[in-house]
Structure 1
Amino acid sequence: MSYAISGECCSDASCVAVCPMNSIHPAPGEPGFGTGASLFIDPRTCIDCGACADICPVDAAQPADQAAPEDVRRNAEYFAEREPLEATDLDSWEPPSYEVWGGGPRRVLVVGAGPAGIYATRELLLRTTAEVTLADRFDTVGGLVRYGVAPDHPRTKQIIETFERVIQHPRVRWRPGTDAASLLNKQAVAPGSGRSGGFDAVVHAVGARRSRRLGIAGEDGACTAEDFVAWYNGRPGAVAPTDLVGPRAVVVGNGNVALDVARVLLSDEEQLRGMDVSPEVRRMLAASGVKQVVLVGRRGPDEAAYTQSAFQELRAAVGDRVEFRYHAWPTAWTGEGLVLDSGETIAAGNLFTAIGFEGRPVDGLPFDPDRGIVPNVRGAVVDRPGHYVAGWIKRGARGGIGVNKACAQETVMTLVSSARGSASPGS
C-alpha cells in the first residue's frame, strides 16, 4: 500500500525533504512546483513508511486505502509517463543548495550504516570531494530499517536495496563489522588537515536503540522492545528474550513499536507465513498461545504517540483481540500480572515494555543522560571540533526513516561550513 496526497495539499514541500525514496514531486526547483494545486506521491516507489503523513501540516498525505479514489488516481496519473527516480541516485534530484567542500581530497568517517549514516554519506558525496569511510558494527547496511521495522512491512524494508547502492560508490570505503572506537584510536581526527592516516571529520550516526525503563518493581522479569524486536527481526547475536506464555500479554507503550509488538504477538499461522522471519521465530510465535494483548498507555488517547495509519493497521489485522487501557500507571510486575496504581492487576503471562528508546554514551564525546543525546549545535558536537552527529543520537529517539534525511543534510551543511573556515558551533 502506498500513500497519496489529497487536494488539501499546501505545497510547502516539507514532505519532499523527509521522503526517503524521493517519491514526492514536483520538488522545489522542478517544473510545476508552486504553480499547481498539489504535490504527488509516486506509487511505484513509495515504501509506505508514513514519513510524509507524519510531517504534513495539513494532513493531506494519507494511506491510499484511506484517501479519496480520485486523489489516488491523480497521484498515479501524474507519474504515468515519468520514469521512477532512484532515491540514492546522486544526479536524480538537488537537495538544499550550499557550497561544495573542495580544495582537494578530504577524509570523513561516518559511524553507523542506518538511515542517518547512509543519508550523511550520500550528502557528503553530493556536496564534497571527500573520501568517506562508512563503518558499522554489523556486516550489512540498514540499521533499524533492517532490524527494527516490523517483519510484515516488507515494502518499507525495500529501501535497504537503495542504501546498498551508496556503499558501492567509488569514494566510499565500506567497513562492515568494524568497531569504530578502535578505528578512531588508530587514525586520529585532525579537522582540516587532510593528512594521511587521519580523518578530517567524523559523523557519529549510531542511533539510540536502548529501551527506556519503567522503573517499577519486578521489571527485570519483563521483555524490552529492544530485545523482542531484535529477536524476531533476526539481528545478529539476538536470542529469544523470554518464554511466551498465553493466553494474554501486556504491552506498556502507545507508540508504533508497541503496536508492532502487539500485532506480531497476535499474528496467526497464515499471517506468520507471510512475514520475513526465521522458521524458529515463526514456530515460537505460533506456539505461544497468546490470544489477547492489553496495550497500556500512561497517558490519554489524545497523547498517544502512534500514527493513525499504524492504529488502523492494528485494528484491521488483530483489532478484536486488542484492549487499550489509557491513564494506567504500572507500579509492579509480579510475573503473573501487571499491578496498576489503582490497585488493579491485569493478569498476563508476559510483560513487554515499549516506552521509547534512548542513546548510549559515545566514547570521547559529551553526553546528556536526561535527553539521551550527544550535545550538539546543528550537528556539531559541543567542545569536540571535527566531530558531528546525525540521527537519533543527535536529536533524540523520535521520527521515522525519512526525518533522518533532513537531519543528515543539516549536519553535513554544518560540517561543510566549518571546513570552509567558518567558526564551528561546537569549537
Structure 2
Amino acid sequence: MNSIHPSPGEPGFGTGASLFIDPRTCIDCGACADICPVDAAQPVEKASAEDVERNAAYFAGQEPLDATDLDSWEAPTYQVWGGGPRRVLVVGAGPAGMYATRELLLRTTARVTLVDRLEQVGGLVRYGVAPDHPSTKQIMQTFERILQHERVRWLPGTDARELPDGFDAVVHAVGARRSRRLGIAGEDAACTAEDFVAWYNGRPGAVRPVELVGPRAVIVGNGNVALDVARILLSDEARLRDMDVSSDVRRVLAAGGVKEVVLLGRRGPGEAAYTDSALKELLAAAGDRVELRHHARPTAWTSEGLALDDGTTIAAGNLFTAIGFEGTPIDGLPFDPERGIVPNVRGAVVGRPGHYVAGWIKRGARGGIGVNKACAQETVMALVSSSRAPASPGS
C-alpha cells in the first residue's frame, strides 16, 4: 500500500533507525507485523506512547495525499453523535463501505445497516486484488470482524432499493464498476481487465471472458491492474500452483500459450500510473517476456492484431484493456458523467441532504485500497457534523 516511509528513493531511506507507517493509507491488514523479524511493527494499542508520538510527528505538516483527490485531509476530530442510536444505511461492502462502517462505529452511536449485492464483504479486496498477493487480502479479517459488531446489521445479496425508508443517513459506497472504453473499431472483441480479473478471482457470476490465444497478448493500460493481468498471464505452472485460484483457472492459464505481453501506454512513462514496486515485481517474474511501449495510439483491433496510428500493427492473439473504471448513475442522486462521480462536497451529496458518498463513486476511480480509509473518514466527518432529516435509500 506504499504506507511505510521513508521508502526507496525518499530522503532518509536506509540511513535512519526507524520506519514510519502513514495512518492515512495503512489498511490495517497486519501484513507488516506478520513479516517483521524484530516485531517492530505493532498495532497502535500495543505500541509505546513514545513511538506513537514519533510516528505522528513524522507525518505532521506533510502535504495532502495526491491520490485521494481531495482538497485537503485532516486528522479526524469527531464528536460522538448524541441523542441515542440513529440508523445509517451503508450501501456497498467493499473497502470504502467497510471503512465508512468502521468509522461510524468508532465515532458515533449509530446503528448501521450494511448491504451489498454480493454475498460476501470485500469488494475490490476480495475480487480485485491479484491472487498472488495474499498479504493484501489480510484486511478481510478486519472486515469480517466489523460484521460481528452488535450495532451492525449485515444484509448480503441485497439491493438497497428493496429496503424500507426511515434511515437518518445513507452512505453510498458502490464503487466504479464500468470499464472505460478505448473507442476503437473491433473493441467489442477485446477483453476488459474487469472481466478477466473477476474470472480468475472467482467473483460470483463471472465466467471465462475470452479464449487465450498465444503466443502474444497486448494489454492497453499503464496502471497496476494492467501489470497484474500481465503477471498472471505470464505465470508458469509452479507460480500458478501457489496462487489462490481454482483448478479450472490454473488449467486455462497454463494451457493458454501466452508467452509474451506488450504493455501499451498511450502516454509517456512519466504518466504511468503503476507503482515502482508493481513494475519491479512484474519484471522480476517475467521481465524478458514483457515489452513496455509508450506514446502508442490504438486505432483498431483486427484478426491480425492491434493497429496503431503510425500505420503499424502489433501481431497478437488477445487484446486486454485496462484503462480504468468509471462510476454509473445512482437512482435519485445527481451524476457527473464527465468524471463518473456523484457530485459532492467532502462526501455530502450536492442537493440531497442525508445522502453521502465514499470511495470511487465519490472521488473517481483513483487511489488504492488504503486511500479509501482517509476518504471514508472525511465522509463520516461530514455526516456527523450535519443534522439531517431521515433519508430513504432510493429517494
**1:30–1:406: structure 2 CA closer, same or farther, 3 Å change rule?**
farther
**1:241–1:387: structure 2 CA closer, same or farther, 3 Å change rule?**
same
SS of 1:294's partner is: strand
Q: Determine if the alignment matches structure 1 residue 31 to structure 2 residue 38.
A: no
What is the rounded CA distance, in whole Å, between the counterparts of 2:52 and 2:66 in structure 1?
Answer: 17
Query: Whose relative contact order is higher, 1 or 2, with alpha carbons under 8 Å and at least 6 apart?
Result: 2
**1:124–1:369: structure 2 CA closer, same or farther, 3 Å change rule?**
same
**Post-superposition shift, 1:347?**
0.3
Conserved? CA contact 1:268–1:286, under 8 Å: yes
**Aligned position for 1:114:** 94
**Aligned position for 2:23:** 16
Conserved? CA contact 1:329–1:340, under 8 Å: yes
SS of 1:418's partner is: coil
2:12 aligned partner, one-letter code:
E
2:50 aligned partner, one-letter code:
P
**1:371–1:128: structure 2 CA closer, same or farther, 3 Å change rule?**
same
What is the rounded CA distance, in whole Å, between the counterparts of 1:155 and 1:201 in structure 2?
Answer: 34
Q: Deviations over 1:303-335 (max 9, x none)?
A: 100000000000001111000110000000003
Stretches of structure 2 that go unaligned for 5 or more consecutive residues are 31-40, 68-74, 390-395
**1:303–1:166: structure 2 CA closer, same or farther, 3 Å change rule?**
same
**Aligned position for 2:34:** none
What is the rounded CA distance, in whole Å, between the counterparts of 2:184 and 2:55 in structure 1?
Answer: 54
1:370 aligned partner, one-letter code:
E
Q: Determine if the alignment matches structure 1 residue 146 to structure 2 residue 165.
A: no
Q: 1:327 aligns with which of 295, 302, 305?
A: 295
**Post-superposition shift, 1:16?**
1.3
Q: Determine if the alignment matches structure 1 residue 353 to structure 2 residue 333.
A: no
SS of 2:262's partner is: strand
TM-score (norm 2): 0.85
**Aligned position for 1:46:** none
Stretches of structure 1 that go unaligned for 5 or more consecutive residues are 41-53, 58-94, 189-197, 422-427
Residue correspondences, number: 359
Conserved? CA contact 2:21–2:55, under 8 Å: no
SS of 1:283's partner is: helix
SS of 1:295's partner is: strand
Q: Deviations over 1:160-194 (max 9, x none)?
A: 111100010000000001011222xxx22xxxxxx
**Post-superposition shift, 1:96?**
2.1
Conserved? CA contact 1:250–1:351, under 8 Å: yes
Q: 2:348 aligns with which of 372, 376, 380?
A: 380
What is the rounded CA distance, in whole Å, between the counterparts of 2:204 and 2:354 in structure 1?
Answer: 31
Conserved? CA contact 1:221–1:335, under 8 Å: no
**Aligned position for 1:370:** 338
**Aligned position for 1:137:** 117
What is the rounded CA distance, in whole Å, between the counterparts of 2:231 and 2:54 in structure 1?
Answer: 42
1:8 aligned partner, one-letter code:
G
**1:22–1:419: structure 2 CA closer, same or farther, 3 Å change rule?**
farther
**Aligned position for 1:260:** 228
**1:144–1:347: structure 2 CA closer, same or farther, 3 Å change rule?**
same
**Aligned position for 1:48:** none
1:296-315 alignment, distance < 5 Å: 296-315=264-283
1:13-412 alignment, distance < 5 Å: 15-21=22-28, 30-33=49-52, 96-183=76-163, 187-188=164-165, 198-412=166-380
1:5 aligned partner, one-letter code:
H
**Post-superposition shift, 1:34?**
5.4
What is the rounded CA distance, in whole Å, between the counterparts of 2:280 and 2:364 in structure 1?
Answer: 26
1:395 aligned partner, one-letter code:
R
Conserved? CA contact 1:15–1:56, under 8 Å: no
**1:238–1:115: structure 2 CA closer, same or farther, 3 Å change rule?**
same
**Post-superposition shift, 1:216?**
0.3
**Post-superposition shift, 1:373?**
0.4
**1:272–1:402: structure 2 CA closer, same or farther, 3 Å change rule?**
same
**Post-superposition shift, 1:97?**
2.1
Conserved? CA contact 1:250–1:294, under 8 Å: yes
**1:97–1:322: structure 2 CA closer, same or farther, 3 Å change rule?**
same
Conserved? CA contact 2:349–2:356, under 8 Å: yes
Conserved? CA contact 1:111–1:206, under 8 Å: yes
What is the rounded CA distance, in whole Å, between the counterparts of 1:37 and 1:207 in structure 2?
Answer: 30
**1:157–1:240: structure 2 CA closer, same or farther, 3 Å change rule?**
same
What is the rounded CA distance, in whole Å, between the counterparts of 1:181 and 1:288 in structure 2?
Answer: 42
TM-score (norm 1): 0.79
What is the rounded CA distance, in whole Å, between the counterparts of 2:29 and 2:195 in structure 1?
Answer: 32
**1:177–1:264: structure 2 CA closer, same or farther, 3 Å change rule?**
same
What is the rounded CA distance, in whole Å, between the counterparts of 1:394 and 1:2 in structure 2?
Answer: 22
